[in-house]
Amino acid sequence: ALDGTWSEYKRSTGRFAARRSSIRDAADFIGWYMTETKRRSGVALSDARNQYLAYHEGQGGFMRGTHLKKPWLLAVADKVANRSSTYRRQLKSCGKI
């Protein structure tokens, strides 16, 4: 995460002692960022492809469509979506969702 985004996360959540090196804090940051992406641009939390693109490009870049000029990035995002679908199927098959 960019320094400014990390600072915004800490301010927004009140987690001023959060550390990037903490897996707990990093996971919380990702949840916060995805929720902010949904709020700002309407990308569903379950839309792994577009959540990934918004994270990679930043929310502003995503909303401006900067990702659309990067075929290599769109290919990576498709792989993220496929992996997400695989995990969803696996979780459904074992009754976790």
What's the pTM value of the predicted model, to 2 decimals?
A: 0.90
**Those residues with Cβ within 8 angstroms of residue 79's Cβ, 6 or more apart along the chain or in another chain:** none
Output the CA angle 68-32-49, nearest 5 degrees: 30
Copy the structure tokens of residue 72. 């290599």
Query: From CA 89, how far away is CA 73, in angstroms rounded?
Result: 24
**Tens-of-pLDDT digits for all 97 residues of the chain?**
899 999 999 999 999 999 999 999 999 999 999 999 999 999 999 999 999 999 999 999 999 999 999 999 999 999 999 999 999 999 999 987 7
Q: Which residue has the tokens 């990035």?
A: 73
What's the confidence (pLDDT) of residue 96?
A: 76
